Structure 1
Amino acid sequence: MDVSPQRTAVIGAGYVGLTTGACLASLGHHVVCVDVDEAKIARLRQGRVDILEPDLPELVAAGLTDGHLDFTGDVTTAVRAAEVVFLCLPTPMAADGRADLSAVESVVAELGPSLPTGCVVVNKSTVPVGTAAWVRRMLDRDDLAVVSNPEFLREGSAVQDFLNPDRIVVGSDDEDAARRVADLYRPLRAPVVRTDAASAEMIKYAANCFLAVKLSYVNAIAELCEVFGADVDAVTTGMGHDPRIGRAFLRPGPGWGGPCLPKDSSALLRMADTAGVRFDLLQAAVDDNTRQGERVVRRLAEELGSLHRARIGLLGLAFKAGTNDLRGSPALRSAELLVAAGAEVTAYDPAVSLDLHHIAVVDDAYQAVKEADAVLLATEWPEFRALDWTAIAELMNGTLVFDARNHLDPAAIDEAGLTWRGIGRMVTAGSPDRRTPSTKGERSERTA
């Protein structure tokens, strides 16, 4: 279905902004992306994308080539002729747990006088309920409309999520403005949820926090499976067949993280507290998630006898496979807890190469596990399943492979003469008896 191209400005060229801009340009709209980072803008104008996101570099290159996509650091120029302006700005967790709207406030104050009459301002960022009304008051212009259009993009599949959405949520009391925003997405033929702005803002928080609760629930189930000798994979498979539950977000792990779930859970809890509403269920999910990260480290300590001066080879640092994002990473949290317990951590991640405080980051998985007393797999990169575990057994001092994602093949680990441990999983036959994790004394003797 054809749609008239609209002149669109996207303020912010991070994960959400760059994906939004590139995808809207691919639908035929004329898009200018704005960012305060001049070096980033210069790279993007050359088609260089720093974000690790499948298909995004190709979309940016195509948009630059066909003239539908441009980049600038001048917000005033970008919005002067815009019909729609998307706010894709960071709303990080503030010290008190609330969403920090300082970037939104600063940008709205700057662009307000420059917006053309009839322009629609769209909140794409995840913002507290009531933000659309607050932005409208800040603009203080009757000739402008504000619409809430939250994003539902997953890092590692953001482009596919944008172009193949489950739903598009558009919230506004201005029917014409809501229609114009919905029309931007018409070529996608996706269901459109039309509602008021407050409900649209709540939809995003309600969805993300439900997923956080679901993940904490399955991690607790995994812990019970360990106690009672059940297999969490079998349990979640049985659960997932129930259409009321579904298969998604039923994989246990070292805790949930990333740039969204932690801050959104905290923000909704603060909103509930301000409103005088108890949200004990969500608070329990957050508390359990903290405990889950600690439990991974505690289990390592129990297996090894002590973490003091233990060498840990950490496989994975990003909060999930397919991204180089360390924000809220359970892997990084585990590494920090291990270091605090006296362990020496050497890490490898295929997408992360920066230096980290007290954590050695190397550029090869085999280098990370060399002379390790234990290996901790914390991010589910596919290449880790293809590692030569016999070679790793020769490189290690110890024998323990703790698979905090249940990502590896336990049989391959066992065949290499190593001891596999997972989350909520039964140990494969033969593993405990063939080679149990060596004690601190045994490790010292072998390396002497």
Structure 2
Amino acid sequence: MVRNLKTMLLKWASDLDWRFLILILTPLSLFIFISLSYTNPFSSFPNLKTLLHPNTNQTLTLTLTPFQSPPPRSNRTSDLESAWIKKKKIKLDRSRIAICLVGGARRFELTGPSLIENVLKFYPNSDLFLHSPLDSGSFKFSLLKTAPRIAGVRIFSPDRLPETESQARVLTARNSPNGIQGLLQYFNLVEGCLTMINTYQTQHNFTYDWVVRTRVDGYWSAPLSPENFVAGEYLVPPGSSYGGLNDRLGIGDLKTSTAALSRLSLIPKLDAAGYRNLNSETAYRAQLTVEGVTHRLNRLPFCIVTDRTYEYPPARFGVPVASLMSPGPLSGAKCRPCRPVCVGPCVADVVGAVLDPGWSWTDWENGTLELCDAHGEWEKGWERIFDWVAGEKIAAVRKRIGRLRMEECVADLEEMRRRTVLWDAPKADEICRAGLGSVVRPV
């Protein structure tokens, strides 16, 4: 039977039209070739498209069955970037990071929880350093008891700082609310935080890989991305540059951060280099220049919550105030919770056409910025706007601080003190009394 079957097949093959066989074998061979090199079908046969379509510009479309077609280029790029950021985050989590937080408490019940969630807890192995003057809002720092790690806290009663001749030559009082003394107090806050970091390093015999310097009054709408940590370069946000560099945040390794945070001790060097009439931002840029530090710009998802009033609409050298409802990122622009009065094309008319691009410009393209009318106090009902923007978790913290009682405040600060390695601050009841006093808070 087998012999008869073989004879039948041979007879069938001999009778088959050879042209039909070629018609079958040609696409079958092509399919096998493509399947074996499916990751890049044309990598080893670059002229295949030309051979198949010699007289046209037609694009060859291949279905890579049974394999999955590769994703579009844009998605593939996004996936690669996402993978790189995840890898960078893992590396940063194994690094030593110091978070330097400076400034007065002010609206810390609004800004503090966002900072804790999007910076401190996002990098849970980082060490927090707080350097702040004692004022009526200092009790709000009790919120930091939930920070993962607290290395140092210094809350002090500020004294007037002596003004040297070199400082008088290098700095200008123009556009500073408190003149040169105001600049010196701010510079002292920043460099004082660097001193705390150096002391901690010496006591524990190690050095930090990274230093993040930011402000107490910064509201963070999203986490601080790992892409902002670049060795050998100092990162600053774009916008709000006032002729220099935006000094509301900085990220760098220890070497570049030391140059950026030495705001007082580098003034004699700026004087010797011939710098004159510098504001905070131009002095900031000059510091990096004389120290040979390269800076880079990247937009960041934070803004500076302000109670100050500003002319609206802003003139050429005015200050635009962003609504917290802005999509952002706002890169440290002044902001407040408000119903925006200027969106879309209006922003281009105000910011793009009126403001001096080298002075107080902030990013506004693609609908990322919406403006408040900030010529008066915060509008009635701002709490509802803030709670809607910030979400239930942060809104609950705001409400808790609003009804905080004396004994709760003291207990929270005492817990924070116990978790802090270096504590240099007044007693908890003194800090709480400065803000809460004898005011009766609702239960």
User: Which structure's relative contact order is higher, taking Cα pairs within 8 Å and 6+ residues apart?
Assistant: 2
TM-score (ref. length: structure 1): 0.27
TM-score (ref. length: structure 2): 0.27
